[in-house]
Amino acid sequence: MTELYDEEDICNIIECNVIKDAYPFSMKDNDVNLFGSDSYNKKYSNYFFDFLYKDQPLNEVIKKIDDIIKIYKFLLTTEDSNAGLIIFIVFLVLATCIVLSLPFVFIKKFERKFKFLSKDLWIITTLGSLILMCSLLTLYGDVNNTKCHLKIVLINVGFVLSVCPSLHRLITNFPEKNKISSWFEKNKYISILIIMIFTATLNGIFVISSYSIQDLKTSNGLNFNKCYMKNMFGNIMYYFIQIYDIFMILISLFLIFLEWSLQETSLDVRYLATAFFMDILSIILLIIIDKIQLDYIIYNVLLAVIIMFFSLSNHLFVYFIRIISISGNDNDSRKILGKVDNSSSKKVSFSATNNSSRIAETITTNSSTTASNKSSSINGITKKIMDYHNQRSIV
């Protein structure tokens, strides 16, 4: 009976204004522009009456009310989720393994396993893999323009730095010596530096465009912020960077095709081919995940897992696989990638008493002679490439 608090006698005893101005419950501060007054008040009231009349547990109702305006973040703390801490622990373990694998390059008895690149280039490759993996740290904490750009820059720079040494070796190993391959061979550091300067310039232009922070309101109430590029120029640069990465992969795969059966690096190019196909898959997945709307935990976990896969697949098939086969021979490595079919190079075995085997041998010999005569008419780079592809045995 609120009219009682209008009586002068009663108000002399108690503070009437305090009681008249009091509400049965209080609202939390709300950003009307972000969540909307009508939507906020409706949800708040519904949750409150769920507690009063529908016997909903108090802790569940409080969490639902809190979730209306709370912005969730990917954190190391376990207050909201264990995912952030688990991902960080996995990151530390993988990064430590990558760093601890590097000393194998400097052990003399293992030099034959790492002869594809020089020691300094192995260090550059390892550094690139670490930089790429460190990009997942930008997923933690508040989402802002700096972190949005830093994530893309670290992924791009780390990837380019990890593949530059292998690309350099593939160019210098080109079947037909030419001015380009000779220049790369003589100017190892300058060639890598030029590629990295171009990469840095590309990312510098991309950073000029600012990201917008998109507030995503999900159906389960777990709201979170996400990087969103509204600027047309920024979007063009973003996709140009992805195309640049894929272009480097395609160039490398083309060179791998030309050098596929070169005896000296036969296993190395197979390792690289596997790594590059994994890289293409990782880039495509990163683009897809970045453009779809998901729960904040699923979104960040998927991004972190893809980044770790991106980095680890590079290092695994370019570096780790050599360590795996150190205690054995090269056959151990072939088992991992799949045995190469060398049936075309096997000698035809025959028995003196088996006429059919002798006929088969004669046909094979004549075919080889014909192929040899045809190839003698091919000159230049084509002959070189075909000669390399005829070297089937692997050293």
CA atoms of 335 and 322, how far apart (whole Å): 13
CA atoms of 109 and 123, how far apart (whole Å): 18
How is residue 244 written in tokens?
A: 């640049």
Tell me the range of 48-57, 79-88, 290-299 where mean pLDDT is highest.
79-88
Residue 363: how many CB atoms within 10 A of its CB? 11
* Average pLDDT of every residue of the chain: 76
Q: Where does the pLDDT of residue 7 fall: very low under 50, low under 70, confident under 90, or very high at 90 and above?
A: confident
Beta carbons of 73 and 224 less than 8 angstroms apart: yes
Predicted pLDDT at 224: 83
For 84-92, what is the mean pLDDT?
Answer: 94
Q: What is the edge-to-edge ordering of all strands in the sheet holding 223-228?
A: 71-72, 223-228, 212-216
How is residue 339 written in tokens?
A: 């045995």
Q: Please say if the pLDDT value at position 375 is more than 50.
A: no
Largest CA distance in the chain: 131
Specify the DSSP element, H or E, that contains 267: helix 266-291
CA atoms of 387 and 376, how far apart (whole Å): 10
Q: Please say if the pLDDT value at position 305 is more than 90.
A: yes
How is residue 170 written in tokens?
A: 């593939």
- Report yes or no on whether pTM surpasses 0.75: no
End-to-end Cα distance, the chain: 98
Domains of the chain: 24-69 (no CATH), 72-337 (1.20.1070), 344-389 (no CATH)
How is residue 65 written in tokens?
A: 């009310």
Half-sphere exposure in the Cβ direction for 192 (13 Å, CA): 21
